[in-house]
Amino acid sequence: MEHHFILRVISKMLIPPIMLYALYVQFHGDFGPGGGFQAGVIFAVAFILYAIVFGVETLTLVCPPAVLRAGMALGVLLYAGTGVYSLLRGYNYLDYAALAEPGHAEHGQHLGILLVEGGVGLTVASAMIAIFVAFASRSPDIKDTDW
Amino acid sequence: MFSLIEPHLPILQVIVPLIAAPLCALFGNRHLAWVIAFTAASISFGIACLLLASVLDGSIISYEIGGWAPPWGIEYRVDAANAFLLLIVSLIGAIVLPYARRSIEKEFDRSTHTYFYVCYLLCLTGLLGVAITGDAFNVFVFLEISSLSTYALVAFGADRDKRALTAAYNYLIMGTIGATFFVIGLGLLYMMTGTLNMVDLSERLAALGDNRAVHVGYVFILVGLGLKLAMFPLHLWLPNAYTYAPSAITAFLAATATKVAVYVLLRFIFSIFGFEFSFETLTLEYVVMPLAIIAMFAASIAAVFQEDIKRLLAYSSIAQIGYILLGVTLLNHTGLTAGIIHLFNHAVTKGALFLAVGCFVYQIGSSRLSDLKGMGRLMPWTSAAIVIGGLSLIGVPLTVGFISKWYLISASLEAGSLFIAGLIVMSSLIAVVYVWRMVETLYLEPAPAGRQKGEAPLSMLIPTWTLIAACLYFGVNSELTSSAASQAAHAFLPPQQIVSGGAGQ
């Protein structure tokens, strides 16, 4: 019998809804309260909960530090890239009108904010997990038993 | 082709380093990261030159982010004042990078070099963003981008000396308090006016008249920025941060970070609150000016007693910020010109000096004066750079320091204060003492036995001497800097006609 049986079962039940809720906040961000930052934090919470209950080593198997770093960088690139796409189309930086289909001006705004918030969400989630891993995987300089 | 890019130069100024940063992180290789960083910094410098050239005639470039017209959208606004600052920041940013490549190899572990370049680029992005934006809240965002990456950059010094960690932490706490005060002040202004665009803000504040909430907002902003720019007595984070940061970063920060904060202060004092704001004039005259004068003396005297050359120069930086603020608080056109020209001159001088100290650190692994005895004969080029930089700190003719002191003294005479002019001369005499301490250690003391003669690599000496050459060139031919500074001083006074940039709406 493993330790913390109830904790393990409950957290396994909780993690999928947390992720789903994060995605809800992410995609609902353009209609109501929410957006990439909040969604990124909630999404990271699912991973952090997993690491607290099952150990940081198991978490780093799921998302190795290299993936987290790439996630942080790619999020920023997605955001900045959306702006650069507008520039290349001859609009001002981050002018979502560049993304519009002919005849549907509002689609550009919708798609633009979706891409930008996606970048924010990716960076925030990766950064939150990376910060947690950085702190949690530190071996203490002084052992607890030395006090 | 160029005509297509030209309207977008203001935004490219910021996003070139911004995009280069995640690219560095993605590719991961430190050599490639350096190439990307250097390319981005050089492009930024080129853009800054083009921007300055197009606004020197007094025109203003306005760029609307996302195509949203100000005051609703974020506006980037380039006038002579911030174009000059963009030039300073991007110039130092481009010069320090070739130097950093060899310098950081000796100072910390190679596996982290890629992240060093990422932080460096983000810091550069933040500083350029603060300088170029015309939106008060955007200033805060970019200030935080640059500050957060600065804290990390200072902490990179921990491989050489663990105290870098406490220095970085201390800086983080102080810097965050400063940023919080700044944003509280902004909040109060937003509450009173309902706008964040700087031009709109200044018009609405003028219409609002004297108001206690505006006074409180102004004081919060003054104190917050005072922390960021190391205004005496809010400078306590600075000596440790400069001493323990990697040498390249010390040079970069000393030449740019505090200067950008000074610029933001000027922008708020002159463009947003306006010169006629009587409460502001009073605080400048009775609070900031005495503090600036105390900084000139207290920090210079503290510099005399330092054992570490980096710490000595750090205290000297606090004193130099005193000179800049003194120029500004004289509240006349010459004084403002003196403050702005000293921004550039001090950036060049202190940048060169810290780069030269970094050459010593590269060769002998220490910047303590006791370890530098007799280095004048062993590292002649580096030591000569220290001497010329030191002369510029004192304000000897033929160096940029002289130009600054000249403008400062004429400004104080113009303000009718012989007393202040005397104080400037007296504090310069203290600078003679600490510069002489460096010269004496380098040239007049015998070198420890067995130490080999050997210079730092050329990739470090050339950036150092480029800045020293600039220090001498602009000391002899101050045409460009003084006209840019004078134009910048004009830009802080009434608004001029606006040249619309960006794609057509």
Q: Give tens-digit pLDDT for B384-443.
A: 999 999 999 998 899 999 999 999 999 999 888 889 999 999 999 999 999 999 999 999
Total domains in the fold of chain A: 1
ipTM of the complex: 0.89
Domain annotation covers residue A28: yes
Domain annotation covers residue A146: no
A131 pLDDT tier (thresholds 50, 70, 90)? very high
In this predicted model, what pLDDT tens digit does every residue of B292-335 receive, in sequence order? 999 999 999 999 999 999 999 999 999 999 999 999 888 888 88
Which of A95, A99, A120, A126 should be substituted to probe chain B, the one whose Cβ sees the most B Cβ atoms within 10 Å? Answer: A95
Q: Which residues pair with B77 in a beta bridge?
A: B62
Chain A contacts of B21, Cβ < 8 Å? 73, 76
Backbone torsions φ then ψ of B196, nearest 5 degrees: -120, -10
Minimum-distance CB partner of A94 among B21, B23, B65: B65
Please state the pTM of the whole predicted model.
Answer: 0.92
Q: The tokens of B339 are what?
A: 């403050």
Domain annotation covers residue A96: yes
Domain annotation covers residue A144: no
Domain extents for chain B?
Answer: 2-500
Minimum-distance CB partner of A76 among B4, B22, B67: B22
The answer to whether the CB atoms of A91 and B22 lie below 8 A apart is no
Looking at chain A, which residue has its C-alpha nearest residue B68?
A95
Q: At what angle do helices B113-132 and B9-27 cross, to 10 degrees?
A: 170
Does A113 contact B at CB distance below 8 Å? no
Does A96 contact B at CB distance below 8 Å? yes
Taking phi first (over 0 means left), then psi (-120 to 50 degrees means alpha), and beta for anything else, what does residue A139 get? beta
The answer to whether the CB atoms of A97 and B67 lie below 8 A apart is yes
DSSP B383-403: HHHHHHHHHHHHT-TTSHHHH
Looking at chain B, which residue has its C-alpha nearest residue A96?
B66
- Residue B297: which of B328, B313, B320, B329 has the closest Cα? B320
Cα B203 from Cα B191, distance rounded (Å): 15
Hey, CA dihedral for B11, B14, B17, B18, is it positive or negative? negative
**Interface A:B, Cβ pairs < 8 A:** 56
Cβ within 8 Å of A, B 58-77: 63-67
Q: What is the mean pLDDT of each run of 10 residues along chain B (505 residues)?
A: 82 93 89 93 94 85 87 88 90 93 87 92 95 93 94 90 91 94 94 90 85 89 92 90 92 92 90 74 84 93 93 94 91 87 92 93 88 87 93 91 92 88 92 92 85 85 93 88 85 48 36
Q: How far is B119 from chain A (nearest CA, A)?
A: 12
Hey, is B78 helix, strand or coil?
strand
CB-based burial label for B11 (10 Å; 0-12, 13-18, 19+): buried
Question: Are the C-beta atoms of residues B113 and B104 closer than 8 Å to each other?
Answer: yes
Chain B contacts of A80, Cβ < 8 Å? 15, 18-19, 22
Chain A contacts of B502, Cβ < 8 Å? 92
The answer to whether the CB atoms of A80 and B22 lie below 8 A apart is yes
Range of the structural domain that residue A38 is part of: 5-138
Question: Are the C-beta atoms of residues A100 and B32 closer than 8 Å to each other?
Answer: no
Cα B426 from Cα B98, distance rounded (Å): 38
Looking at chain B, which residue has its C-alpha nearest residue A112?
B66
Domain annotation covers residue A147: no
Asked whether the bond before B233 is cis by omega within 30 degrees of 0, the reply is: yes
Chain B contacts of A134, Cβ < 8 Å? none
Q: How far is B449 from chain A (nearest CA, A)?
A: 39
Q: The tokens of B291 are what?
A: 């503090």
